[in-house]
């Protein structure tokens, strides 16, 4: 199982992420066995990105300086063959946020794009309702949307929601692991993007790393939800961090619910 490779390698994951989730992301990466670094300064992001095992760009709290830092870091990662994960938080909510995301894509080649259906749709010119940073009720086909985005952007696309779709435009997986409790804690989607970065940091192919990360994450959430079912989201959040550290390959094998689509 790839989680064992993550725990053995302890990959360095460079995160340029948002202020809401920085602590949760760092703790989550530490729990599963990766090594997080949060470096944002324009003066050092290129140097940090080139020594990392993966770079994660998250647009949650956006400024012009953050966009510039992401582009500098992304170019450096591309130059040094470091995989890049992009989480376009809230794309479609405002014109500026959409423009900024597209500007990043003009300069940075992605390994994996991870977002909800609305975010991915707005990146590739499709209509989808969005409410702040959350996907609204859409009527489109999520599988076709994921495939279109993967082909348009030449990367693996992960669309998360009630079901998780992972595709490189050719191979497609449908994942059913996870728990609704994830929606009651801020930053769980953002952390997943960084977890995908950690799995990419093992050197695995993008489609395999993304598929394995999504499954691992969903199983950990299920176990945490079961252990805190009579408690609130605060207890779930703490237990979720515990399960990111404790979930075993055997538990993943027993509980995984992921299918290759024809």
pLDDT higher than 60, residue 3: yes
Share of the chain above pLDDT 70, in %: 95
Task: For residue 260, give Cα distances in angstroms to 131, 175, 208.
Answer: 31, 9, 12
Could you tell me which residues are beta bridge partners of residue 15?
38, 56
Q: Is 202 helix (H, G, I), strand (E, B) or coil?
A: coil
Q: What is the pLDDT of residue 126?
A: 86
148-159: average pLDDT:
97
CB half-sphere exposure, 172, CA atoms < 13 A? 19
Distance CA 37, CA 86 (A): 16
Could you tell me which residues are beta bridge partners of residue 156?
112
H or E stretch at 115: strand 112-115
pLDDT in tens, 204-238: 999 999 999 999 999 999 999 999 999 999 999 99
Q: What is the pLDDT of residue 255?
A: 96
Angle (CA) 156 53 59, round 5°: 60
Share of the chain above pLDDT 90, in %: 91
Under the banding of pLDDT at 50, 70 and 90, the label for residue 138 is low
4-16: average pLDDT:
98
In the sheet with 12-16, reading across from the earlier edge strand, the strands are: 35-38, 12-16, 54-58, 84-87, 112-115, 156-159, 164-167, 172-175, 258-260
pLDDT in tens, 74-96: 999 999 999 999 999 999 889 99
Task: For residue 138, give Cα distances in angstroms to 18, 43, 102, 118.
Answer: 26, 41, 22, 8
Cβ neighbours of residue 23 closer than 8 Å, sequence gap 6 or more: none
pLDDT higher than 70, residue 139: no
Q: What is the pLDDT of residue 135?
A: 46
Q: How large is the C-alpha radius of gyration of the chain?
A: 17
Task: For residue 230, give Cα distances in angstroms to 22, 59, 234, 235.
Answer: 28, 34, 12, 10
pLDDT averaged over every residue in the chain:
94
> If you count them, how many residues does the chain have?
262
181-198: average pLDDT:
96
Distance CA 176, CA 219 (A): 10
Q: What is the pLDDT of residue 262?
A: 64
Q: Are 90 and 99 in contact (CB under 8 A)?
A: no
User: Of 125, 126, 133, which Cα lies nearest the Cα of 93?
Assistant: 133
pLDDT in tens, 87-137: 999 998 899 999 999 999 999 999 999 999 999 999 998 877 655 444 445
Q: What is the pLDDT of residue 223?
A: 98
Q: Are 116 and 162 in contact (CB under 8 A)?
A: no
pLDDT in tens, 33-82: 999 999 999 999 999 999 999 999 999 999 999 999 999 999 999 999 99
């Amino acid at each position: 199982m790839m989680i064992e490779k993550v725990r053995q390698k302890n990959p360095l994951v460079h995160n340029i992420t948002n202020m809401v989730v920085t602590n949760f992301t760092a703790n989550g990466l530490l729990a599963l066995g990766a090594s997080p670094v949060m470096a944002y300064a324009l003066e050092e992001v290129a140097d940090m990105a080139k020594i990392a095992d993966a770079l994660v760009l998250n647009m949650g709290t956006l400024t012009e300086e953050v966009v510039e830092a992401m582009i500098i870091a992304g170019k450096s990662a591309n130059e040094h063959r470091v995989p890049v994960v992009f989480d376009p938080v809230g794309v479609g909510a405002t014109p500026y946020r959409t423009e900024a995301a597209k500007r990043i894509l003009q300069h940075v080649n992605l390994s994996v794009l991870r977002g909800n259906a609305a975010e991915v749709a707005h990146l590739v010119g499709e209509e989808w309702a969005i409410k702040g940073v959350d996907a609204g009720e859409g009527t489109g086909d999520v599988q076709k949307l994921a495939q279109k985005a993967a082909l348009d952007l030449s990367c693996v696309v992960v669309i998360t929601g009630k079901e998780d779709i992972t595709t490189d435009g050719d191979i497609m997986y449908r994942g059913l692991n996870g728990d609704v409790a994830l929606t009651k804690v801020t930053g769980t989607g953002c952390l997943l993007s960084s977890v995908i970065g950690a799995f990419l940091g093992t050197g695995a192919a993008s489609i395999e790393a993304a598929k394995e990360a999504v499954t691992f994450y969903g199983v950990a959430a299920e176990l945490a939800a079961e252990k805190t079912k009579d408690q609130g989201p605060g207890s779930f959040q703490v237990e979720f961090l515990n399960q990111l550290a404790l979930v075993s390959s055997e538990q993943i094998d027993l509980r995984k619910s992921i299918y290759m689509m024809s």
